[in-house]
Amino acid sequence: MNARESAVLHSVLERLLAPLGASALVLADGTSLLVHPGSPVDIATLPHAAALCHKYLNLADGDIAIANDPYSGGTTLSDFTLVLGIKTESASTDVLLARRISCSPRLADSGKLDDEGVRVPPTPLASRGEVNRDLLQAIAAAPLAPSHLAEMVLAAIDEMKEVATRIRHLAQDPESVLRKSVFKTYLADCSRSFEAAMGRLPLGTIQAAYQFPTGETLKLQLRLNEDHLQFDFGGTESSKTIAITDLAALGACTAAVWAVFGEDIPLNTGSLHHLQVSAPSRTMLAAAPPVGTNRGMTEGAAAISRLAYEAIAKLTPALKSAKGAATTSCFQIKFEDGRSLSFTAPPGSGASSTHEGVTAFTPWANCTDFVSHPEQIEAEWPVRFVSAGVRVGSGGKGKRNGGDGVSIGFTTLKSGELTWMASSLGVRHDGENSGRAGQPAELEILRIKSGVREELKTLSGRVRVEAGDQVFFLSPGGGGSGEPANDAAD
């Protein structure tokens, strides 16, 4: 009966969170029942943010808190966490529904948190379901607040209230699986499932390292014992541009582990307590105010996840794959009317001995889907797309080909400033076992007045664009695996 109840509970939790995107159900003590991440950095930060909001604000039934502080369980200042208190069995709130909404990021190269957006610590936003709209409007009116923040928050709250109503209704049934006794059994079952998956990996210790294009080195020692995976980042260097919190680093490592184990094991306290991350102080994995987190939560997290996967692959050679870009590239145009359009461009992933690389690979990413639907962007923003699709043939050739990147080109209809963060510019990602390297990323601007094609080679920067200029970005392809079938493949 216990196994059946656990299976039913998991199905119920999945259905509850499915409409919300990046979300989690958390008990008042911080125990996560299920996490649906929008990106790897959500995995550990989202439950922690929910627990902190409840700890500081003592959320009653229907109360809602808002926060985005990276140092209070957040990620970047463009990602806002909403936490809704829900009364079920007892007189106090014993379930927290957390949701993270992603707004357009503000790309700032100063490295300072306050330049990346408006910072909101855990703040009471609604009492007994009634939203303090004056407070919300005040936050949204801040100079660095994302566009349409108030509208996005209100829409998200309405959807969360619907889920909360379903939870309360389900909890009224005496036979409901939304009971603490079932929660306990469910978490124990998830823990055993994780232990069984770990049993398929060989025990041992592996060292690995990754050097960012900017020169900093990320070092990892992976230890796998009978019931824990330990990720020790001792020796990792500090960085002036890449900073990530230890909780976000845990999420990045977890993403690598789940890529190995598959998605059959729920993400919650039962499974996650088997993972340990050591992030020494004075390294890029121990970010502290006032350091900004945009690059750390994107490029840094992706590099950590990739390095963790490579370390596990050294223990299990069948998992070895060719190189791919560590992260997607981020762009933003701030137009003269003050509005900013932000988007990302996913790379292709590297192939392995058993699988082709994945085209436009965005694991757990919250990305604007303009490649498939550019007309949605054109309807709201002063741009017209020249191209938006797969960069065919950019993946490295091999017995298994690397994944292709994307090709994006658009004309700006108004003047503004283009900002970018693209660590893969000019970098070829190697193949493995005689597979060929993928094509590097490229960024160019065709100046309409002069006809000059301007190639941008720095990994980050900002430049003026005039109305009529055309911007072209080609994201990189992943490396191939194995000798290509014939020389013509080159």
Q: Kindly tell me if the per-residue pLDDT of 310 is higher than 90.
A: no
Domains: count for the chain? 2
Which pLDDT does position 320 carry in this prediction?
67
- Which residue, of 147, 169, 192, is where some domain finishes? 192
Residue with the larger pLDDT of the pair 242 and 70: 70
Q: Stretch 242-251: mean pLDDT, rounded?
A: 94
Chain centroid offset of residue 437 CA: 26
Confidence of residue 326 (pLDDT cuts 50, 70, 90): low
Confidence of residue 489 (pLDDT cuts 50, 70, 90): very low
Q: Kindly tell me if the per-residue pLDDT of 107 is higher than 90.
A: no
In a domain, 306, yes or no: no
Which pLDDT does position 374 carry in this prediction?
79
Q: Stretch 275-279: mean pLDDT, rounded?
A: 93
In a domain, 271, yes or no: no
Q: Stretch 365-388: mean pLDDT, rounded?
A: 71
In a domain, 43, yes or no: yes
Which pLDDT does position 88 carry in this prediction?
81
Domain region containing 328? 321-490
Task: Output b/e per residue, 416-433; b: 16+ Cβ within 10 A.
Answer: bebbbbbbbbebbbbbbb
Which pLDDT does position 211 carry in this prediction?
87
Tokens 């300072």, located at residue: 112
265-274, 303-312, 363-372: segment of lowest average pLDDT: 363-372
Q: What is the dihedral of CA 185, 189, 195, 199, to 10 degrees?
A: 150
Q: Kindly tell me if the per-residue pLDDT of 82 is higher than 90.
A: yes
- The pTM assigned to this predicted structure is 0.84
Q: Kindly tell me if the per-residue pLDDT of 90 is higher than 70.
A: no
- What is the rounded distance in angstroms from the CA atom of residue 283 to the CA atom of residue 219? 10
Confidence of residue 163 (pLDDT cuts 50, 70, 90): very high
CA neighbor of 104 nearest in space, from 383, 419, 379? 419
Q: Do 326 and 177 reside in the same domain of the chain?
A: no
Residue with the larger pLDDT of the pair 89 and 287: 287
- Which residue, of 140, 175, 192, is where some domain finishes? 192
Q: Which helix (H) or strand (E) holds 377?
A: helix 374-380
CA distance readout (Å), 385 to 354, 374, 376, 378: 36, 7, 11, 8
Q: Stretch 239-265: mean pLDDT, rounded?
A: 87
Which pLDDT does position 208 carry in this prediction?
92
Confidence of residue 369 (pLDDT cuts 50, 70, 90): very low
In a domain, 332, yes or no: yes
In a domain, 181, yes or no: yes
Confidence of residue 93 (pLDDT cuts 50, 70, 90): low
Q: Kindly tell me if the per-residue pLDDT of 229 is higher than 80.
A: yes
- What is the rounded distance in angstroms from the CA atom of residue 315 to the CA atom of residue 236? 21
Q: pLDDT above 90 covers what percent of the chain?
A: 57
Confidence of residue 184 (pLDDT cuts 50, 70, 90): very high
In a domain, 107, yes or no: yes
Chain centroid offset of residue 235 CA: 25
Confidence of residue 362 (pLDDT cuts 50, 70, 90): low
In a domain, 244, yes or no: no
Which pLDDT does position 92 carry in this prediction?
47
Q: Do 187 and 325 reside in the same domain of the chain?
A: no
Residue 444: Cβ-neighbour burial (10 angstroms; 0-12, 13-18, 19+): middle
Q: pLDDT above 70 covers what percent of the chain?
A: 92
Which pLDDT does position 364 carry in this prediction?
41
Q: Kindly tell me if the per-residue pLDDT of 363 is higher than 70.
A: no
256-260, 262-266, 474-478: segment of lowest average pLDDT: 262-266
In a domain, 285, yes or no: no
- Which residue, of 157, 192, 227, is where some domain finishes? 192
The string of pLDDT tens digits covering residues 211-224 is 887 888 999 999 99
